Amino acid sequence: MTGHRPYSAPAAGITIAILAILVLAADQLSKFFALQHLEERTTVNVVGELLQWHLVFNPGAAFSMGEGVTWVFTIILGLVALVIVYLGITRIRSRAWAIVLGLVLGGVLGNLTDRLVREPGFAVGHVVDFILTPWMWFWTTPAIYNVADMFIVCGMISVAVLVLIGINFDGTRGAKKAEVEESVDE
């Protein structure tokens, strides 16, 4: 055990929901301002070449991969959101997992919203990206992303950390007693 009382189902669900709503709001508000104040494909220096604004409409995934199958990303985002909601309702009893999944869900919903409501149409909308960090180029075109992407990436890194340090969905640490007993019996 982690030494903490397990989070109740309602507490976990409320944590996930509140964080998802806050991230979704931050993402959509930042995209609103980007659309109001930036010209498409024009770079604005914020902090030299460290941070720039550069508005683009992304039909694909990271680095615009898969531009011809935008609807597939819509389905994947929808499924990820449903899985997180399902886990939140049925399995999550850890504060850490609730926080991480709430932040990831908010990011997923931010990009899913773009896919559903933006041009060129329902389920094939292009995601609004505007944050440019030329120094983060990964040996290809520079990364241009949005607030939702930041929460998805940081959230998935956090998921990996929680898994690596052995925090279970219910807040316990390491293998559960039944799993340990099964492995001993074999």
Walk along the chain (186 residues) and give the pLDDT tens digit of each residue: 445 678 899 999 999 999 999 999 999 999 999 999 999 999 999 999 899 999 999 987 765 666 667 888 899 999 999 999 999 999 999 999 999 999 999 999 999 999 999 999 999 999 999 999 988 876 677 889 999 999 999 999 999 999 999 999 999 998 765 454 555 555
Selecting among 114, 149, 170, 185, the annotated active-site residue is 149
Distance CA(186)–CA(183), nearest Å, equals 5
**Strand, coil or helix: 127:** strand
Residue 112 burial (C-beta neighbours within 10 Å; 0-12, 13-18, 19+): buried
Whether 170 is a known active-site residue: answer no
Whether 114 is a known active-site residue: answer no
Nearest 10 degrees: Cα torsion 4, 10, 12, 15: -120
At how many degrees (to 10) do helices 147-164 and 9-37 cross? 150
Selecting among 27, 114, 129, 170, the annotated active-site residue is 129
Residue with token string 């956090």: 158
Ramachandran quadrant class, 121 (left: phi over 0; alpha: psi -120 to 50; beta: rest) = left
Tokens representing 139? 């040996």
